[in-house]
C-alpha cells in the first residue's frame, strides 16, 4: 500500500471512530437505537491487504471504541470476528473471477452482491456485540430486537454512502 492509501485509511479510521463514539453511541431515540456505523471501515477495507494486518487493524479499531465507550473487549471481539469472517463471506457471494484487490462497494460488486455481503456483516456484528453486552441469554428477545433495528439502520447508512452509478 502506498503512503497515500495508508493516509486515506487512517483518516477513515479516525473519522469513523469519532462518528461512532461521539454521535452514534449517543442516540437516545427509543433507548436502544445504537447503529454500529464504524463497521463501514471493515466493510470497505481493501481485500488485497494481508489478512493478519486486517485482523490487527480491526482489533485496534474495536479496542479504541471500547476505550471510549467503557466496554472493555466487546467491540474488539466483535470487530475481529467480523473482519475474520469477511473473506469467507466475500468468497461466498463474489464470483470467482473477480480480481483479487478491491474495496467492496456497490460500484465494484453491484447492488445485490454488496447488499448480501453488507447485510451478513452487519447482522453478525450487531448480534455478537449486543449478546456480549447483555452477556446472558436472559431477555434474549431484546438483543434480537436491538440487532434487527440497528442492523436495518446501519445497512441504510452504509448504502447511503455508496455511489450507485
Partner 1 sequence: MEQLLRFLMRYGVYFLFVFLEAISFVVIVNQNSFQRASFLSSSNYISASVYSAANSFVEYFGLSEANKQLSDENNQLKNRVVRLEAELAQLTDTTDRRPLVLADKEYQFIAAKVISNSVNKLKNSITLNKGRLDGIEPEMGVINNQGVVGVVSAVTDHYASVIPVLNSKSRISCKSKRSNDFGVLLWNGIDPDYVQVDEVPRHAVIHVRDTLVTSGFSSIFPEGIPVGYVTRCATPENKSYYSIEAKTAAIFRTLSYVKVVKFKYKEELREVQKEDEQ
Name the residues that contact partner 1, by CB under 8 A. Answer: 18, 21-22, 51-52, 55-56, 59, 62, 66-74, 76-77, 80-81, 84, 132, 135
Angle at CA of residue 49, ends 72 and 79, nearest 5°: 20
Which three three-digit cell numbers place residue 122? 452487519
Distance of closest approach, residue 162 Cβ to partner 1, in angstroms: 27
Alpha-carbon span 47 to 37, nearest angstrom: 19
At its nearest, how many Å lie between partner 1 and the CB of residue 134?
12
Distance CA 34, CA 82 (A): 18
- We find the least distance from the C-beta atom of residue 53 to partner 1, in angstroms, to be 10
Cα–Cα distances in angstroms (integers) from residue 85 to residues 46, 55, 131, in the given order = 14, 10, 18
Closer CB to partner 1, 71 or 105, in the complex: 71
User: Smallest distance, Å, CB 163 to partner 1?
Assistant: 30
Contact present, 114 and 164 (Cβ < 8 Å) = no
Closer CB to partner 1, 6 or 56, in the complex: 56
- 72 vs 112 by CB, closer to partner 1: 72
Cβ-based nearer residue to partner 1, 135 or 137: 135
Contact between 132 and 78 (Cβ < 8 Å): yes
Amino acid at each position: 500500500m502506498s503512503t497515500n492509501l495508508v493516509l486515506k485509511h487512517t483518516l477513515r479510521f479516525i473519522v469513523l471512530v469519532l462518528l461512532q463514539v461521539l454521535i452514534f453511541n449517543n442516540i437516545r431515540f427509543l433507548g436502544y437505537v445504537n447503529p454500529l456505523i464504524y463497521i463501514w471501515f471493515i466493510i470497505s477495507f481493501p481485500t488485497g491487504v494481508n489478512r493478519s494486518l486486517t485482523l490487527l487493524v480491526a482489533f485496534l479499531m474495536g479496542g479504541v471504541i471500547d476505550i471510549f465507550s467503557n466496554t472493555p473487549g466487546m467491540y474488539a471481539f466483535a470487530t475481529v470476528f467480523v473482519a475474520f469472517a469477511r473473506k469467507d463471506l466475500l468468497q461466498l457471494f463474489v464470483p470467482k473471477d473477480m480480481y483479487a484487490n478491491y474495496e467492496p462497494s456497490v460500484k465494484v460488486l453491484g447492488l445485490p452482491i454488496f447488499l448480501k455481503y453488507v447485510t451478513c456483516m452487519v447482522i453478525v456484528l450487531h448480534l455478537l456485540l449486543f449478546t456480549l453486552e447483555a452477556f446472558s441469554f436472559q431477555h434474549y428477545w431484546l438483543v434480537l430486537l436491538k440487532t434487527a433495528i440497528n442492523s436495518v439502520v446501519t445497512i441504510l447508512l452504509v448504502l447511503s454512502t455508496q455511489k450507485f452509478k
